[in-house]
């Protein structure tokens, strides 16, 4: 699944052991074509919902081409998402189409991100797990380490939750986390608007209580201008990676790649 240029991939078996804070950079299809370097980044987040046109988003051959170009050009693992409009997506895409887009993208991307509360989350997870099971069955005669095959041939599943208005109560965050686990997430991502110091305390406590608990890793993002410092602090206390912008700022308070690489 990885190109020869990729020396490290957080989405593969063993890739998250002993990690240091990592940086994901959101990209559109136009960015992939125009940008020459992602120096300092560790993950390319491909925002399919922000593609230059809806027709291109719905063209599976074009999506495959952009994912392949991204991996070959930058030598980074690709996290692909087609964000729902109600959780910050750009184009409105019906759930049935988003499901097909994400499942198709999973054959090229290293990880797929779908919203925990979306109707398609169980369907996408089921399809990706079924694809993994088929891979194991097809290669079982020649494979002795089944776990390696499962992890290295299937896209990692990131299940995400976004609240652009507020930081939910701790009980809600725990419910989201438990739902993500029950659906079969490899990584659970929570992004919430932080307007007060109490909001930042809640998210900090959540990270400390849940990072490294079992097989699930977490990514926690505090959005908003007052939470900018948390984009550097949260990865240091257990959030798996942070996001930094290149040409496409995808959330309030997102720092630039140039700024973040001064610290990580």
Domain map of the chain by residue range?
22-154+225-260
189 tagged catalytic = yes
Report the pLDDT value the prediction gives residue 145, as an integer from 0 to 100. Answer: 37
Q: Which one of 42, 71, 162, 210 is the catalytic residue?
A: 162
Q: Tell me the per-residue pLDDT of 158-204, one tens digit each, with 9 for 90 and over.
A: 999 999 999 999 999 999 999 999 999 999 999 999 999 999 999 99
Rounded Cα gap, residues 150 and 144, in angstroms = 12
91 tagged catalytic = no
Q: Which CATH superfamily is domain 22-154+225-260 in?
A: Aldolase class I (3.20.20.70)
Q: Tell me the per-residue pLDDT of 88-105, one tens digit each, with 9 for 90 and over.
A: 888 889 999 999 999 999
Q: In what order do the strands lie in the sheet with 22-27?
A: 217-223, 187-193, 156-163, 111-115, 78-81, 43-47, 22-27, 241-245, 255-256
Report the pLDDT value the prediction gives residue 244, as an integer from 0 to 100. Answer: 87
Phi, then psi, of 188 in degrees rounded to 5: -110, 125
The answer to whether 223 and 197 have CB atoms below 8 angstroms apart is no
- What's the whole-number average pLDDT of the chain? 83
Q: Which one of 99, 108, 189, 210 is the catalytic residue?
A: 189
The answer to whether 116 and 179 have CB atoms below 8 angstroms apart is yes
Predicted confidence (pLDDT) at residue 32 exceeds the cutoff of 50: yes
Rounded Cα gap, residues 157 and 79, in angstroms = 9
Segment 232-255 shows an average pLDDT of 78
Q: What is the pTM of this model?
A: 0.84
Segment 216-227 shows an average pLDDT of 86
The DSSP code for 124 is: H
Rounded Cα gap, residues 238 and 233, in angstroms = 9
């Amino acid at each position: 699944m990885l190109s020869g240029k990729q020396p490290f991939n957080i989405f593969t078996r063993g890739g998250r052991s002993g990690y240091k804070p990592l940086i994901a950079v959101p990209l559109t299809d136009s960015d992939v074509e125009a940008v020459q370097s992602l120096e300092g980044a560790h993950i390319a987040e491909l925002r399919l919902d922000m593609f230059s046109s809806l027709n291109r988003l719905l063209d599976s051959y074009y999506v495959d081409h952009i994912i392949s170009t991204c991996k070959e050009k930058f030598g980074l693992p690709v996290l692909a998402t087609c964000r729902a409009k109600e959780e910050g997506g750009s184009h409105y895409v019906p759930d049935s189409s988003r499901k097909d887009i994400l499942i198709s993208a999973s054959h090229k991307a290293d990880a797929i991100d779908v919203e925990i509360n979306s109707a398609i989350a169980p369907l996408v997870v089921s399809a990706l797990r079924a694809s993994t099971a088929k891979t194991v069955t097809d290669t079982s005669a020649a494979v002795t380490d089944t776990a390696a095959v499962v992890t290295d041939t299937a896209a990692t599943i990131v299940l995400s939750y976004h609240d652009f208005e507020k930081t939910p109560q701790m009980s809600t965050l725990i419910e989201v986390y438990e739902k993500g686990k029950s659906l079969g997430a490899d990584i659970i991502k929570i992004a919430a608007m932080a307007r007060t110091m109490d909001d930042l305390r809640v998210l900090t406590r959540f990270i400390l209580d849940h990072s490294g608990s079992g097989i699930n890793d977490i990514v926690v993002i505090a959005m908003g201008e007052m939470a900018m410092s948390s984009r550097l602090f949260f990865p240091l206390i257990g959030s798996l990676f942070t996001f930094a912008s290149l040409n496409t700022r995808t959330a309030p308070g997102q720092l630039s790649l140039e700024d973040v690489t001064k610290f990580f």
